[in-house]
Amino acid sequence: MDIDFALVLVCLVAFCGALWLLDHLLIKKSRDEAIADYERNRAKGKTEEQIRDDLEELAREPIVIEYAKSFFPVLLIVLVLRSFLVEPFQIPTGSMIPSLLVGDFVLVNKYAYGLRLPVIGTKIVDIDDPQRGEVMVFIHPQEGKYYIKRVVGLPGDTIRYEDKNLYINGELIDKEYVSDITVDTQIGELPGTLYSEVLGGVEHATQHIEGIGNRRTRTTWVIPGGQYFMMGDNRDNSFDSREWGTVPEENIVGKAIAVWMHKEPGLNLPTFGYNKWIN
């Protein structure tokens, strides 16, 4: 089951903040009254040390309030950073190979495409729009999960993908041969080809798998306004807009900008040898 970390974080911040406010408005007043009553009526006949201990006990905050006050500023800072600046994201599948590997931890720029409220995603500050060739994290329009793909089609574009060739508005996007490779697939190792491609001025690698044809009957898409067509760089092994359609603007999470850590699946230690800026 996927956990909505943003929702959990917002609830924790609200809970800790509410306890802090409740203590400030009501509970602390009761402690102050108890201290004043003690000093008036029950401090007689006790040593200074006993009085000091009693006052410390009366002034002591309940453990729940103490923890709430301690965690609130930390959680609030994390919420602000994660919601409006950068958010970590781990690559779960191989759809972006060779650009991004399974187990890569990437940083997502949350303000590149405008500031949005956490959880509900409403844009409150408009900064920029996604550009062709950028790697974007978004919420899948049907599944509600985080996905990461490359922006291929912008609003108003006509996208055609046929015979492993990409056309944008009728223009063939050239891909330059780099090398022959071996690709791990669910049915074993298959020969493949590594290419270099340029989209919107962004040069990046793509790979194709030999022997896997076009499994999709549809080859052409016209992108509606406010929608984006997303594709993985692993062109023959990517579940993307060619299957499920376009991504609405309100589903955008942010721009992937860097790989800061990599961890192979299973009981493996993280490594930092794959760190890089994302093209």
Q: What is the pLDDT of residue 147?
A: 96
List per-residue pLDDT tens for the chain, 279 residues long.
Answer: 466 788 899 999 999 999 999 998 888 888 888 888 877 776 566 777 777 777 788 788 889 999 999 999 999 999 999 999 999 999 999 999 999 999 999 999 999 999 998 888 889 999 999 999 999 999 999 998 999 999 999 999 999 999 899 999 999 999 999 999 998 877 778 999 999 999 999 999 999 998 776 667 789 999 999 999 999 999 999 999 999 999 999 999 999 999 999 998 888 899 998 899 999
Q: Distance (Å, rounded) from C-alpha 270 to C-alpha 279? A: 22
What Å distances lie between residue 205 and 89, 101, 196, 278, CA to CA? 21, 12, 5, 11
Cβ atoms < 10 Å from Cβ of 171: 9
86-277 homologous superfamily: Umud Fragment, subunit A (2.10.109.10)
pLDDT of residue 42: 65
Choosing from 83, 110, 149, 175, the catalytic residue is 149
pLDDT at position 43, please? 59
- Interhelix angle 28-41/48-59, nearest 10 degrees: 160
Instruction: Please answer whether residues 254 and 233 qualify as being in contact, where contact means their C-beta atoms are separated by less than 8 angstroms.
Output: no
Q: Give the pLDDT of residue 179.
A: 97
Q: Mark whether 241 is an active-site residue.
A: no
Please tell me the predicted confidence (pLDDT) of residue 212: 74
149 classed as catalytic? yes
Give the pLDDT of residue 58.
79
Domain ranges for the chain: 5-84, 86-277
| pLDDT attached to residue 1 | 42
